Chains A and B, each alone.
Chain A
Amino acid sequence: MKRRGPIGSPRNGLGGLGGLARIARSGLGGLGGLDRIARSGLGGLGGLDRIARVGLNAAARRWPQDLSETMRYEWSAELDAIRDDPASSRPVRAYRMVAFAGSIALSPAVEEAGAEPVTWRDRVIRPASAAGLTLLAAALFNAVHEADHRAGPGGALALAAAALLMAAIGYRCRVDAVRTTVLMGASMFAFLMAGNQVAVMPFMGWIDILPAVAVWTALTAAGAALAARRRALGILTAVAAIELAAVAGSLHAAHVLGLGFGSAPAWFPLALAPGGTADFGPYFADGTAAFGRLQGSGPAFHASEILLGNASAMVGPMLLCTMFAMASALRRAPRPPLASRPDLRVPLGVAGAVAVLIAGELMRPSGDAAGAALHRLIDNSNVFGFGFLADTPGRVAVALLGGLLAARLGETAHLRRDS
């Protein structure tokens, strides 16, 4: 075998990462020979050695491309040193091998050069914040529907206010808009799937939710990515995302209700309008509904009212999440630091959790009123998705997410002061 010489010898300076990567890729540092050497004496820990190497190889693949092979070589050498350490007993060596490989395999990879580091804290906070934003959007849209139900035309103003609030939060938050959109998409899917625990929507199974969420997530993320360079195209893509999500999420309903697809382009705007704005499709004169999970009777209705009421539960929160994502994506240069502000993370977190608990108590009775579901579906003012607040674990989880989200907003203000 060819001798593997020192990398970055005194002649060429102590090796920078670029040099190491080049040599590691050149074959001198290739892993074939290394693996043969590593397997030549396994110190009675062969099975563990193989498992540890699988973990290290998987971790190396997550690291930046220019470091991946170099780090795999380095970790492999250290793993050999642990395995063959004559000063340690076999159980100690086994423990150290598992700890060494496991820590690398489970820890975040180093970021690309010039990027912000990803910490364990980020791993927890980012998905939790996205879930909190999704719940906030759903709660705000339910409040809009309550306003629709009680104040009629006032609902439009309430929707505008909710959209502006989400946009303001998006503008304020320092987040990666594309990544947050993907996380919000995952949260949206979970929320909609869990939301019909008290059956108030007829078409809210995976066949309805999955296409809607997939289309919204993919196109909104694309819009957020485009917005940085081409604002108009980014916004257009985000609008198309929600329009197509409404169609994708209602195809199954349209098929069951006997509605043609010619009206599909109008489904999204009409889903946001009060019931009765436009009626089309088959007419149910006896007022009896037996669609999907919803069984009830009420006034006579058109098929369109069922479809639009059902679609609104999906596209309403999606629209508000879009406002957040695009406001975040469209923000250009970092803003100047704010005047000195105290660190409000803890009080805001507590206040957020308490506010969520109170809001949950207000929404819960509406969710339980399944008997009134058909009436409110027809006038498109149904509240949806918080049936899980009936259980204590559901209330605790939602309060935790609300508290985390509020604390994150407080953190943003605090960091801006420090920046």
Chain B
Amino acid sequence: MGSPRMTSSVLKVVAALLADPAAERYGLQLMHDTGLPSGTLYPILVRLERAGWVESRWEDADPVAEGRPTRRYYRLTGQGAIEARREVALMHQQMARATGPVGRARQA
């Protein structure tokens, strides 16, 4: 089970899930939170689940009573949250290196 390749889209998804690691989100919510289209989001979720960073479950509802099919929820696993934080922190460090001198100059 290897780590997923980190692209800007993958970072957006893990950052959205990290906003509240215990919360479960379905696909449309993640599309809204990340701004990613469905065709980009779902392959990323599958890759993250294969890597063990994300787990999913189906909504506990009766589709007949609800009048609609059940939805699938996603959330970070414990290990996924640790790995995701590390990747997001790494990205922040890289961005800080790129923008650091400008920021310090403005502060000075």
Contacts and interface: CB of A to CB of B under 8 A. Distances in A.
Interface string B60-72: 1011100111111
Interface in A1-32: 1, 3-9, 13-17, 20
Contacts, number: 108
Interface in A105-150: 105-110, 113, 117
A108 B38 CA distance: 11
Nearest first, the 8 A-B pairs at minimum CB distance are A107-B39, A103-B39, A14-B55, A7-B58, A110-B43, A103-B37, A77-B69, A6-B60
B28 A33 contact: no
A75 B41 CA distance: 12
Contacts of B70: 4, 6, 77
Given A80-B69, A117-B47, A8 B56 contact: yes
Contact of A7 (B38, B57, B68, B75): B57
B66 to A, nearest CB: 9
Contacts of B28: 78, 81-82, 100
Given A17-B49, A107-B39, 18 more contacts: A6-B59, A8-B58, A20-B58, A37-B63, A74-B27, A74-B71, A74-B72, A77-B71, A77-B72, A78-B26, A78-B27, A81-B28, A82-B28, A103-B40, A105-B39, A107-B37, A107-B40, A110-B43
B86 interface: no
15 contacts: A4-B63, A6-B57, A6-B59, A14-B75, A16-B55, A20-B58, A37-B63, A37-B68, A67-B46, A77-B69, A78-B26, A84-B68, A100-B31, A106-B39, A107-B37
A104 interface: yes
A38 interface: yes
Contacts of B97: none
A41 B68 CA distance: 9
B58 A110 contact: no
Which of B28, B68, B71 has most chain A Cβ within 10 Å?
A: B68
Contacts of A37: 63-64, 67-69
Interface in B66-100: 67-72, 75
A34 interface: yes
Interface residues of A, number: 45
A3 B46 CA distance: 26
B104 interface: no
A9 B59 CA distance: 9
Question: Interface extent on B, as a size class?
Answer: 20 to 34
A101 B28 CA distance: 12
Nearest to B73: A14
A73 B69 contact: yes
A215 interface: no
Contacts of A238: none
Nearest to A77: B69
B5 interface: yes
Contacts of B56: 8, 14-15, 20
Nearest to A83: B68
Given A71-B42, A81-B71, A108-B43, A15 B57 contact: yes
B69 A34 contact: yes
Nearest to A100: B38
A117 B37 CA distance: 17
